[in-house]
Amino acid sequence: MTLLRTRLVGGAMAAAMMLAAAGCGSSAGMTPSSTVSASQSTLPSSPTAAPSPTRPSAAPDDDAFALSMADPIDSWRTSYLTSSMTFAVPGTVVATSRGDGSVDLVASGDAVLDSRPMAVDDAFHIGSMTKLFTAALIMQLDQEGALALDTTIDTWFPSAPNGSKITVAMLLEHESGLYELDFDLVGTASNQELVDNVFAQPLIAEPGDEYQYLNAGYIILGRIAEEAAGKPYGDLVQARFIDPLNLENTYLDGYAEGPEAVKGYDLACDGATGDDCFGKPSTPTPVDSSPQWKGAWSAGGMVSTARDQAIWLRALVAGGVVDATHRQLMQNLTPLSSAYYSAAYGKAGVTPVQLGEGAGLATWSVPGVGNCLGHAGSIPGSNGIAAYCPDHDLSIAILNNLNPAGTTPGYPGLLELTPPALRAIGG
């Protein structure tokens, strides 16, 4: 797996299965500040309040969440300083809510190391978390009869290999058997050129035979949505999800306007970057720009905030974004994905965390919380996750300005921060 692929893939198991390095390594890595800011916003339409620039010293209602979360987030961000990797996550924003209550937010660390503290309303490149917008769009188009999940992709792409066997549903569930994107082309080739390049490559499996997480499938789905609806993908997502839910700081990078995202950092070590640094002394290295930020498009090109992601996950999993039938299709774990993750965790000798995927939504088992459904995202400069935990009617979004944010980029901070966040809001 190339570094670029690891950066874009939010659920890549090869990286997610790596265990945190243990031992008594030095803490020579760069240590971000411990600044914490807090805010509370009304779900879904009130704007986010301005962040406090320092750690709160009192506990009014809107700062109680930040005070409760300060130590858990600091512990999460610095958890690798005492390992052989010796790095800390520069900055993290957490948003959480229960039911129809307000969204509580907390920011910890720096957006720019030793220069600007992280703020609760900072926007991030969210990488593969974009895929939930694409999956929901396809489900809505199926509801409306504009396409059908069992339609084969030769309907739109006559030259696609195995096009008469690969269905829309297989793309959603990562079971198409198609080859992955050429990541050297992402951000330089057009979306259709990316698709054409995938179709020119050898197949990796027969359709429906294997689960293989595939960014290419969601680029193809973006093009299918455009063909089926007769409108640009960005316009469809804006009109159907962003505007109705008042996701005021969410947009498709390069196709719409919004707040500038933090550029963030990539993990770097001696002669390597990204997951090649697992187990090695590492440090965050600034990211100035990346062609993937726009080029990942319907597979990973969106910008958003923690607040917006917490609202979006609740609406998608527990609300009316799609009807009950399609919501279930998005949630139901496919047998192939469950078998894949079970085998991977078994081989690593660790307790399963990711249980599998449905037609868009992944499911994780979080001790003390239960199952949580959502998606993670990893792209140059950031690594985050957003999830909804139905046992507690809890939405949580965790956005980090480091890629990868530790050895579990498929669920960065989910196990460490969800239980204390639940307790902090009275769960």
- Beta-carbon neighbour count of residue 24 at 10 Å? 7
Buried b (16+ CB within 10 A) or exposed e, 134-158: bbbbbbbbbeeeebebeebbebbbe
Which residues on neighbouring strands pair with residue 108, listed in sequence order? 36, 92
Looking at beta carbons, which pairs linking 19-23 to residues 24 or more positions away fall under 8 Å?
19/348, 19/350, 19/407, 20/79, 20/80, 20/83, 20/406, 20/407, 20/408, 21/80, 21/83, 21/84, 21/85, 21/278, 21/279, 21/407, 22/83, 23/83, 23/84
- What's the pLDDT tens digit per position in 98-133? 998 899 999 999 999 999 999 999 999 999 999 999
Q: Quote the pLDDT of residue 41.
A: 60
Q: What is the pLDDT of residue 63?
A: 85
Alpha-carbon distances of 42 from 96, 251, 394, rounded to whole Å: 12, 20, 15
Which residues share a beta bridge with 415? none
Rounded CA-CA distance 222/175 in Å is 17
Q: Reduce the DSSP state of residue 105 to 3 states and report it.
A: strand
Task: Parse the chain into domains and list their residue ranges.
Answer: 11-127+255-333+366-424, 133-239
Which pair of tokens denotes residue 86?
């010796």
Q: Reduced to 3 states, what is the DSSP secondary structure of residue 360?
A: coil
As a whole number of angstroms, the distance between CA 29 and CA 282 comes to 7
**Two tokens at 303?**
């910008």
Strand 382-389 to 402-403 pairing: unpaired
pLDDT attached to residue 38: 63
Alpha-carbon distance of 127 to 252, in angstroms, equals: 11
Instruction: For residue 40, give the nearest of 52, 29, 30 by alpha carbon.
Output: 52
| Alpha-helical segments (H) within 109-214 | 131-144, 168-172, 191-199
Whether pTM > 0.85 for this model: the answer is: yes
Residue-wise pLDDT tens digits, 60-70: 345 899 999 99
Place of tokens 């990488």: 127
**Confidence (pLDDT) at 100:** 86
Alpha-carbon gap, residue 235 to 103, rounded angstroms: 27
Mean pLDDT in order along the chain per 10 residues (427 residues): 32 34 28 50 38 30 84 96 94 96 96 97 98 98 98 97 98 98 97 98 98 98 98 98 98 97 96 90 96 98 98 97 98 98 95 97 98 98 98 98 94 97 91
- Report CA torsion sign: 114, 120, 122, 125: positive
Residue 276 pLDDT = 92
Residue 206, φ and ψ in degrees, nearest 5: -75, 145
